[in-house]
Structure 1
Amino acid sequence: MSYSKYVEFINVDKSYDGRNLVVDTLNLSISQGEFLTMLGPSGSGKTTSLMMLAGFEAPSGGHIRIAGRSLESVPPHRRNIGMVFQNYALFPHMTVAENLDYPLRVRKMAKAERNDRVRKVLDVVQMGAFAERKPAQLSGGQQQRIALARAIVFEPDVVLMDEPLGALDKNLREHLQLEIKHLHERLGITVVYVTHDQSEALTMSDRVAVFNAGKIEQLAPPAELYERPATPFVAGFIGENNRLSGEISGRNGDEYAVQTETGHRMIVRSQKDFSERQRVMISVRPERVRLDTTEACLNTFGGTVEEVIYLGDHKRVHVRVSEASTLIAKVPNAGTNIDIKPSQALSLGWDSGDAVLIPA
């Protein structure tokens, strides 16, 4: 049976001192076979939520369930949950095969089946040739593959991953992100992943829950999260963006006129309802900002280039548009003939559908 509410947090609170809530009324349902990432800054409640699901922390209030079964009185070792940590947590005195065999021995599995499972899962993570090595003889990326193999070898109901790639260098981290994503797709396991790395969350997840101050600010698929942030916090935390404050000054169908604090009048399309004089924030991604374009933009204004930063595939151009406001544009280095220099005066703009309107 496939559950649409396979893992459930129901009104879950967590406080360590009885006064301040680290997790505040968490309601979250995770589907069977889903890859859900809990994303947020340090202290936002994401790791505490994961630890409560694992059984290493007890909720101060509310309920946690897997497949309809309450976990209230179930100790961690009886929850049938696999865990992958940042520090690998492998037994240094055991070989790779012995590390993978350990959770099967604890479950009193027959030796022949244990050997078969260990061999198969080593092949899954492409580490079949390393069975007799000790963890100290492996690289960081290889150790993390073994930690992942150990988490799935006993066929758990859920696999929890707590910042598993945080100790690896950038290239290896990006490579393993795709490996974990493809492994999830092949095995169809339910994964709950914790990270503060936004690009990691966007790359790997079916849905992302953005945590802030113990609450979920937005729960959505990666593309929706990036293109349509629901709150100022999400807009600022996910990717880079330009933010302009203002208030609603008019409406025509699904297009709103916004008078910004920079003195500009802007038109923004939105499916949400806003009222006259409501305080709002306009969010525009740097790649949506067009510089000195011959195409007609609904929102255009002049500015002065403050800085041009070369980043290989694109340039980041900082343009001052008012005394207190600078906007950032990303200009691809391929296919554009715009020569941009500091102190240059230019026009910039975007269309009404390129920006997002968010309640302030």
Structure 2
Amino acid sequence: MSSASYVEFINVDKSYDGRNLVVDNLNLSIAQGEFLTMLGPSGSGKTTSLMMLAGFEAPSGGHIRIAGRSLESVPPHRRNIGMVFQNYALFPHMTVAENLEYPLRVRKMPKAERTERVRRVLDVVQMAALGERKPAQLSGGQQQRIALARAIVFEPDVVLMDEPLGALDKNLREHLQLEIKHLHERLGITVVYVTHDQSEALTMSDRVAVFNAGKIEQLAPPAELYERPATSFVSGFIGENNRIVGEISGRAGEDYAVETDTGHRMYVRSSLSFKERQRVLVSVRPERVKLDPAEACPNTFGGTVEEVIYLGDHKRVHVRLNETSTVVAKVPNVGANIDIRPSQSLSLGWNSDDAVLIPA
């Protein structure tokens, strides 16, 4: 993957009514060969950004470039971009091979080269035996593979994917996530992927841009996004979090002391700079919360088990610390932890580097 900017959004705005910005001053650089996911809730601007890159929407302001070339006056069919949609968009009257050949025919490629390209791409998506079938004779997963093959058969500069797995069941979706990821690794193509599914984004991406209200809240590799959310929105949107509000009350070595609104003192390690009495959010993942910790933690509190939810390989345990505060712990179903019951008194805790401090 090249580190240089390949796809660029420069001060891009989009408004449909001239007043409200759906995309607000978007600046984003994507490297050649990168798999970048635009993640966010409905209405956050991610799909609009993708459609502007594809040429189906025009920016209200700013510039979009691929390989240094402005796309301002380039129509969609001349952008050399492959598209994969949720509804596959295959021609029902054509065979699989004819569907794949269509974008090559439009580009006036010689017949022999078209045939060879179709053969190669069917091998790539492991569908070589199904070239003569019609789309209606394929399963949903097979149709999505063909849609993906059609997007890459003409060797585009960039492949755009808009919620491509949204219509599939959970097991098939997870299987195709890995297939698309491995295909990207093999071919080294630049992929811009749109989804509202956070697990999909974390599984597949080199980097994830989290969109909210037309802006990027955080742009980071999946592990950093999950372990070190930069804003309150990201901490609430990515995974499950215990979120406790308070204010900075001092320093203890590398840790900040936080007096929380729930009446607790917590210690959180952070490389960021915070001021005395600054309002902050303490964010702790449920899997980092230890029940009856064997070793002393700098953050240890007594509580009462309020609810235990069985989820197969783990339990989600809700522990009430006081009348205004509940903490959720994710506990593997092994060993002594199996016997946790409601109304049980216990202690819970976490280390100072297991929590994240976010400006409130």
Superposition deviation, residue 345 in structure 1: 1.0
Tell me the equivalent position of 1:159.
Answer: 159
- Aligned partner letter, 2:173: R
- Aligned partner letter, 1:231: T
Tell me the equivalent position of 2:30.
Answer: 30
Where do 1:1-360 residues align within 5 Å? 2=2, 4-337=4-337, 339-360=339-360
- Aligned partner letter, 1:331: V
SS in 2 for 1:24: strand
- Aligned partner letter, 2:107: R
Cα distance in 1 for partners of 2:4, 2:309 equals 46
Superposition deviation, residue 335 in structure 1: 4.5
Query: Superposition RMSD on alpha carbons, in Å?
Result: 1.0
SS in 2 for 1:274: coil
- Aligned partner letter, 2:15: S
Query: Which segment drifts farther, 335-344 or 131-140?
Result: 335-344
Superposition deviation, residue 293 in structure 1: 1.6
Superposition deviation, residue 3 in structure 1: 6.0
* 8 Å Cα contact 2:45/2:212 also seen in 1: yes
Q: Flag the 1:2–1:247 CA change in 2: closer, same or farther, 3 A.
A: closer
Q: Deviations over 1:65-101 (max 9, x none)?
A: 0000000000000000000000000000000000000
| Identical-pair percentage | 88
Superposition deviation, residue 253 in structure 1: 3.7
* 8 Å Cα contact 2:90/2:147 also seen in 1: yes
Cα distance in 2 for partners of 1:107, 1:155 equals 12
Cα distance in 2 for partners of 1:312, 1:97 equals 43
- Aligned partner letter, 2:326: T
SS in 1 for 2:5: coil
* 8 Å Cα contact 1:249/1:257 also seen in 2: yes
Superposition deviation, residue 338 in structure 1: 5.2
* 8 Å Cα contact 1:3/1:67 also seen in 2: no
Q: Flag the 1:335–1:33 CA change in 2: closer, same or farther, 3 A.
A: farther
Q: Deviations over 1:123-179 (max 9, x none)?
A: 000000000000000000000000000000000000000000000000000000000
Q: Flag the 1:256–1:148 CA change in 2: closer, same or farther, 3 A.
A: same
Query: Which segment drifts farther, 323-332 or 87-96?
Result: 323-332
| TM value normalised by structure 2 | 0.99
SS in 1 for 2:142: helix
- Aligned partner letter, 2:65: R
Superposition deviation, residue 222 in structure 1: 0.1
- Aligned partner letter, 1:95: T
Superposition deviation, residue 325 in structure 1: 1.8
* 8 Å Cα contact 1:303/1:348 also seen in 2: yes
SS in 2 for 1:28: strand
Superposition deviation, residue 252 in structure 1: 3.0
Which aligned runs of 4 or more in structure 1 are off by greater than 6 angstroms?
none
* 8 Å Cα contact 1:13/1:25 also seen in 2: yes
* 8 Å Cα contact 2:269/2:353 also seen in 1: yes
Gapped regions of structure 1 (runs ≥ 5): none
Superposition deviation, residue 334 in structure 1: 2.8
Cα distance in 1 for partners of 2:187, 2:174 equals 20
Cα distance in 2 for partners of 1:242, 1:252 equals 23
* 8 Å Cα contact 1:181/1:204 also seen in 2: yes
* 8 Å Cα contact 2:331/2:337 also seen in 1: no
- Aligned partner letter, 2:358: I
SS in 2 for 1:6: strand
Cα distance in 2 for partners of 1:239, 1:336 equals 26
Superposition deviation, residue 2 in structure 1: 4.6
Cα distance in 1 for partners of 2:156, 2:169 equals 29
Superposition deviation, residue 295 in structure 1: 1.1
SS in 2 for 1:33: coil
Superposition deviation, residue 322 in structure 1: 2.0
- Aligned partner letter, 1:283: S
Cα distance in 2 for partners of 1:224, 1:143 equals 34
Gapped regions of structure 2 (runs ≥ 5): none
Superposition deviation, residue 219 in structure 1: 0.1
Query: Which segment drifts farther, 1-10 or 107-116?
Result: 1-10
Cα distance in 1 for partners of 2:196, 2:60 equals 24
